[in-house]
Amino acid sequence: MTCLPTPPLADLLDSAHVVRIPMRTRFRGLAVRESVLVHGPAGWGEFGPFPEYADVEAARWLAAAIEAAWSGHPAPVREVVPVNATVPALGADQVPEVLARFPGTTTAKVKVAEAGQSIEDDVARVAAARDVLGASGRIRVDANGAWDVDQALDAIEALARYDLEYVEQPCASVDELASVRRHLARSGRDVRIAADESIRRAEDPELVRRHGAADVMVVKVAPLGGVRAAVEVIERVGLPAVVSSAIDTSVGITAGVALAASLPDLPFACGLGTVALLDGDVVTDSALPEGGVLRAGRTLHVDPALIEQYAAPTDRTTWWTDRLTRCHAVLAGRS
């Protein structure tokens, strides 16, 4: 596994800016997105592990930020990266408005299996996305591991009429994913299964391939420790890859685009248009898709005025710098 040098903690803290950006729509239970931006000799990196992640796991996110800011990213092999729209678990009547934020995109990822909602809510949301995209659009759904096997099979049966590109992480465990995939094959239901959490939060991502648990792998730069580390995981697992984001600012999205642009094969649109879900950004030219694509090799123009505008309050800044310090200790111990 790639292990890049870890800069001194003082250098990280001297360059760190904690930002707090409101979201247009509540997503993943978040109304605001907080993260730490760091600046090094190669540019900017973003450290924003979700609050529930323990330090050992969150340290991978810091490694990704350090890679971006201190080492830079591999050269791209393509100029543009196709992206999908992301539809949160909201009412069907709001779907057209959300999709309008992603002009030119022909693929939508629709969140399903939200706590407190029903399969009828999911069906209505997916149906609304199909109405907007038309018959030629592609729709994928993401359950974030919320279903058991029987629930997943019932839900897929109800949703498959809308011609799903794939179902992302229908169940939590690799064994459950494999069971769903086998049941679908036996029933003649041609729906792909994608693994997300079973890749990015796994001690052994290759377990997905060995158990025949997925057709597609979803990868995110930060949880895997950086672009180079993610490339290694993709090569080891050997499944078609979709590069997605962790609800990043344009700084983190740029790292995701660098990964997608470095892959020799990119058969699916990537989940890298999520800056559209934020009600603000830290750059003057946000990484928003144009014509359904993001361009590789963009130069980031982080604006000090925007960093100041979205600066987190003192208590949150302290919380994040303490967390960065602990994660730095994890990385320093590994090296």
Question: What is the full DSSP assignment across 76-92?
Answer: PS-SEEEB-EEE-S--G
**Helix ranges, 138-173 (H):** 149-159
Assess whether pLDDT exceeds 80 at residue 124: yes
Please tell me the CATH superfamily of domain 9-71+304-334, with its number: Enolase-like, N-terminal domain (3.30.390.10)
| Sheet strands side by side (includes 30-40) | 17-27, 30-40, 43-47
The fold adopted by the segment(s) 80-295 is TIM Barrel (3.20.20)
Confidence of residue 3 (pLDDT cuts 50, 70, 90): low
Contact predicate 112/155, CB 8 Å: yes
Domain boundaries, the chain: 9-71+304-334, 80-295
Model confidence over 71-99: pLDDT tens digits? 999 999 999 999 999 999 999 999 999 99
Q: What is the pLDDT of residue 203?
A: 83
Give the position of tokens 């962790």: 246
Q: What is the pLDDT of residue 120?
A: 98
Contact predicate 211/178, CB 8 Å: yes
Q: What is the pLDDT of residue 33?
A: 97
**Active site residues per annotation:** 111, 220
- Tell me the C-alpha distance between 110 and 90, whole Å: 10
Model confidence over 268-295: pLDDT tens digits? 999 999 999 999 999 999 999 999 999 9
pTM, two decimal places: 0.95
- Establish whether 142 is an annotated binding residue: yes
Assess whether pLDDT exceeds 80 at residue 2: no
Q: What is the pLDDT of residue 334?
A: 80
Q: Give which of 119, 167, 101 is closest to 139, Cα–Cα.
A: 167
Tally of CA atoms within 13 A in the half-sphere of 150 that contains its CB: 0
When the pLDDT of each residue in the chain is averaged and rounded to a whole number, the result is: 96
Model confidence over 200-227: pLDDT tens digits? 888 899 999 999 999 999 999 999 999 9
Contact predicate 264/240, CB 8 Å: no
Assess whether pLDDT exceeds 80 at residue 110: yes
- Establish whether 168 is an annotated binding residue: yes
Assess whether pLDDT exceeds 70 at residue 152: yes
Confidence of residue 311 (pLDDT cuts 50, 70, 90): very high
- Establish whether 285 is an annotated binding residue: no
